[in-house]
Chain A
Amino acid sequence: MNILELNKVVKTYENHVAVDGVSFAVPEGSIFGLLGPNGAGKTSLIRIITTITRADSGTVLLGGETLNGNHPSQIGYMPEERGLYKKMKVGDHLIYLARLKGLSKKVANQEINYWFEKFGIEDWWNKKVEELSKGMQQKIQFISTVVHKPSLLILDEPFSGLDPINTNLIKDEIYELNQKGTSIIFSTHRMEQVEEVCEEIVLINKGKNILGGLVKDVKNRFKENLFQVKFEGELPADMESRFKIASKSDRDLTIQIGEGEDSNEILQYLVRNNLHIISFEEILPTLNEIFIKQVNGVTAE
């Protein structure tokens, strides 16, 4: 079951196509990475999903239904550029945003108190937003995004501007929400975060999705059959004639094997030649490498 399904979504602004036939699906309960360089159309896509704008064509299904007026209350959206009313009191502000999401005053109060206790910030209620530090404001922003228990949480660069402690705090909260069944779309261009957090991704560039799928599948698709061996001792003399060596040093060696070849052959050969092997592993490309390769490949065309 997919919480969100996009099918050939197109959005054109005056003289450029921001989203050009993007299709992907976000499985329910997953943490999904929406990746792409700046200006790829991520924000345009998110604005369509959050019903801020409408797609020119294509369909967007949320929980199996075409987007409609009831959906905003099921979505929690934290935009990349954050903002709050500076003069408002923290508690009043959160109640206001929660009520705009359809919560009653009483429920909003309960939920906010829950989060305040969780973050240990009970005494912030009567502070004005402008009295808080930037990191503190981010926490408030996060609470405002999740206070109405959305079934789909969309976070646009959620860790930008956060110190490592707050990053971990928010990351833990994201995991916890995910455990409880919230589906999460994580939009970023920081690949190391994606690899750490997401199970599945879609990569957008110039308004088109250029690849997508489970992170491990994507990595496998782009692997170059490289194997790294760490060893001690002398390499066999005819090593270089037997295998294609990508790189080597005194202690390690990277070998590329051809299609259909078995990596075990390398091991067997080395063992036969009495080389002391410390480790042997396949080198998978990082998402960062794939990302750069793909984006540059498209740009070069």
Chain B
Amino acid sequence: MDKLWLIVKREYLTRVKKWTFILATLATPLAVAGFIAVSALLANQSEEQRIALKDDSGIFVEKTIKDSDRAKFIMSNEPLDSLIANYEKMNFDGVLHVPDFRERLEKDKELAVNYYSDGQLGVVTKMFIESRMAKRIKSHKIDKSGYDKKIIENFETEVTIDEKAASGEDTGVGNRAEIATGFGMMMGFFMYMAIFIYGMMVMRSVMEEKTNRIVEVMISSVKPFQLMMGKLIGVGGVGLTQLLIWIILIPGVVFITGLLFPIDPATMSGSGMPGGGQEMNPEEMESLIYQMGETLGALNWWFILPLFIIFFMGGYFVYSSLFAAIGSTISDDMGESQSLTMPISMLVVLAVLIMSAVVQNPNSSLATWSSMVPFFSPVVMPARLAFDPPLWEVILSVLILIVSSVFFVWLSARIYRVGILMYGKKVTFKELAKWMFYKG
């Protein structure tokens, strides 16, 4: 036990002290912060455009277009020609010319206005002006028709689908399902990355020890199982350290950058879905952001986080023990490792594919049974956690995962102890199977 602890300590400390580890651990939250800051800056970056408005229709004379951070409209009575010729001197960015289309207002569904400038208007500003003008024309039409504006506005009804489980349980309202899906995908992908990164780390380290020939010195002092287990626990500890630092740092960093670079819902509404056709008004956007916060806040983090860590460790032990076994069978070149790691990599990729299907349909039978397969559950189950999966499924999934990690560590150790002493021979899977039954 003492020796195992010594090995764990070395494996852990040599990695945690590396500057690459420190950099990656701190850079990731910084990158998240940077991403938020940049997108906030971009979204808020509204270089105000001064636009000269020449209205021949008169619709906008009585009630002009509302200014925004993006565009300021200045009504002008200059002749159009001189406006176009001199707009720059007059300190305008462009000239918006509304032709006299009063007669066509009744029949035409589509009307065109002209914008004269040598500069670009920009997609977002363009969409913004279009929508504002359309609204203005609509209200102009209503006024002209003589109907009560309130009555017309009463005609408009928005419909949202409110999903309810047949069993009566609450599955969420409005956008909650979408937010949970996004969150689940993130969790699943994180697990996928973690399995690969740390699994490969274990494999490379085993190969290094073998090609370095330090392994024979080591196992004359400790049992191969201790050496392998020490490495697994040590590297796993590195992963857990990184994960915990991220769990603490990332929400904090997101919160602080959120304060420093607030995203204006009004500008988000424009930039959020450019060209999507469906425009979201600022109120809707605001409510989505609010909902996102509320949905994530409403998740039972005291339930999700510990489970996430359990699945992280379980998935790590299942996969990295296999990677360790593979690493032990490779004597010299990296090329050889490709063919042997392939089946394991395929399993991880398959897990991600299942996960992406499962978050679309979190209560499907695929979700249930894939949560019971230890190769898939570490990726699938964390993705499902945001959907409040049935408790018995979670417990069963965890139990199966724990039993399987013990089994795979045992299995890998059987291969490992033979593999590390075997040189200069390409190994087939058939041989690996035989090694498992070798006597000490």
Q: Using CB atoms and an 8 Å cutoff, list the residues of chain A in contact with chain B.
A: 14, 47, 50-54, 56, 72-73, 75, 77-79, 81-88, 96-97, 99-101, 141, 144
Q: Which of A47, A73, A100, A101 has the most CB of B within 10 A?
A: A100
The number of chain B residues with a CB under 8 A from chain A is: 21
| Minimal Cβ-Cβ distance residue in A for B226 | A100
CA distance A101 to B216 in the complex (A): 14
Q: Tell me the bound Cα distance from A73 to B221 in angstroms.
A: 7
Tell yes or no: B215 within 8 A of A by CB. yes
Interface of chain A, main secondary structure:
loop
Cβ of B14 within 8 Å of any chain A Cβ, yes or no, is yes
Out of A54, A56, A77, A88, which one reaches B217, CB within 8 Å?
A77
**A53-B440, A88-B14 as given contacts; A83 in contact with B217, CB under 8 Å:** yes
Is A56 a contact of B212 with CB atoms below 8 Å? no
Measured CB to CB, the closest approach of chain B to A91, in angstroms, equals 14
A74 to chain B, nearest CB (A): 11
Bound complex: CA of A97 vs CA of B220, how far in Å? 10
| B19–chain A nearest beta-carbon distance, Å | 13
A84 touches B220 (CB 8 A): no
The 8 Å CB contact of A86, one of B212, B218, B434, is B212
Listed from nearest, the 6 A-B pairs whose CB atoms lie closest are A83-B213, A83-B214, A100-B221, A54-B440, A83-B212, A81-B213
Report whether B220 and A72 are in contact in the complex, using a CB–CB cutoff of 8 Å.
yes
State whether B220 touches A52 (Cβ < 8 A).
yes
A52 touches B216 (CB 8 A): yes
Q: Using known A-B contacts A56-B439, A72-B221, A79-B217, determine if residue A84 contacts B212 with beta carbons closer than 8 Å.
A: yes
The closest CB in chain B to the CB of A141 belongs to B217
| B215-269 CB contacts (< 8 Å) to partner A | 215-222
* Closest Cβ neighbor of B211 among chain A residues: A83
B13: min CB distance to chain A, Å: 10
| Cross-chain contact B217 with A144 (CB below 8 angstroms) | yes
Residue contact A14 to B439, C-beta cutoff 8 Å: no
| A100 lies within 8 A of B212 (CB) | no
14 A–B contacts, CB within 8 A, in A order: A50-B220, A52-B216, A52-B219, A52-B220, A54-B439, A54-B440, A78-B217, A82-B213, A83-B209, A83-B212, A83-B214, A84-B212, A87-B14, A97-B217
Is B396 located at the chain interface by the 8 A CB criterion? Answer: no
Instruction: Tell whether A47 pairs with B421 under 8 Å between CB atoms, given A72-B220, A99-B6.
Output: yes
Tell me which residues across on chain B come within 8 A of A75, comparing CB atoms: 220
Contact of B72 with A by CB under 8 A: no
User: Which residues of B lie under 8 Å from residue A54 when comparing CB positions?
Assistant: 439-440
Residues of B at the A interface (CB closer than 8 Å) are 3, 6-7, 10, 14, 209, 212-222, 421, 434, 439-440
Considering the complex, give the chain A residue whose CB is closest to the CB of B219: A52
Q: How long is the Cα–Cα vector from A81 to B421 in the complex, in angstroms?
A: 11
| B14 contact set on A, CB distance < 8 A | 87-88
Taking a contact as CB atoms under 8 Å apart, the answer to whether A101 and B221 are in contact is: yes
CB-defined contacts of B10 to chain A, threshold 8 Å:
96
Q: Give the docked Cα–Cα distance between A100 and B3 (Å).
A: 6
A85 to B213, CA, bound (A): 9
Q: Nearest Cβ in chain B — how far from A19, in angstroms?
A: 14
Which residues of B have CB within 8 Å of A81?
213, 216
On whether the beta carbons of A79 and B216 are closer than 8 Å, the reply is yes
**Distance to closest chain B CB from A145 (angstroms):** 8
Nearest residue, chain B, Cβ from A11: B439
A72–B222 Cα distance when bound, in Å, is: 8
Q: Among B10, B214, B220, B439, find the residue whose CB has the most chain A CB atoms closer than 10 A.
A: B220
Instruction: List the A side residues contacting B221 at CB < 8 Å.
Output: 72-73, 97, 100-101
State A75–B222 Cα separation when bound (angstroms).
12
> What chain B residues lie within 8 Å of A88 (beta carbons)?
14
The answer, among B215, B439, B440, for a CB contact under 8 Å with A83, is B215
A97–B3 alpha-carbon span in the complex (Å): 10
Q: A146: shortest Cβ distance to chain B, in Å? A: 13
A83 to B221, CA, bound (A): 14
Given contacts A52-B421, A88-B14, contact A100 B215 (CB under 8 A): no
A206 CB to nearest B CB, Å: 20
Contacts of B209 in A (CB 8 A): 83
Say how far A139's CB is from chain B's closest CB, in angstroms. 15
A87, chain B: closest CB distance, angstroms: 7
- Complex: how many Å from CA A115 to CA B215? 23
The answer for the CA separation of A203 and B221 in the assembled complex, in Å, is 27
A82-B213, A83-B209 known; 11 new pairs, CB 8 Å cut-off, are A52-B216, A52-B421, A54-B439, A54-B440, A77-B217, A79-B216, A81-B216, A82-B217, A83-B216, A87-B14, A88-B14
CA distance A86 to B208 in the complex (A): 10
**Cα–Cα, bound, A100→B217 (Å):** 11
A292 CA to B434 CA, complexed, in Å? 37
The distance in angstroms between the C-alpha atoms of A82 and B216, with both chains bound, is: 8
- Give min CB distance, A290 to chain B, whole Å: 30
Partner of A96, one of B6, B216, B440: B6
**A100:B6 contact, CB within 8 angstroms:** yes
A56 to B216 alpha-carbon distance, docked (Å): 20
Q: A46 to chain B: closest CB distance in Å?
A: 9
In the complex formed, the residue of B with least CB distance to A98 is B221
Residues of A within 8 A of B212 (CB): 83-86
Tell me, in angstroms, the Cα distance from A52 to B216 when the chains sit together.
8
Chain A nearest CB, measured from B419 CB (Å)? 13
Q: Which residues of A contact B439 (CB under 8 A)?
A: 54, 56
**Residues of chain A contacted by B220 (CB below 8 angstroms):** 50-52, 72, 75, 77, 79
Chain B residues, CB < 8 A from A85: 212, 214
* Complex Cα–Cα for A85 and B3 (A): 17
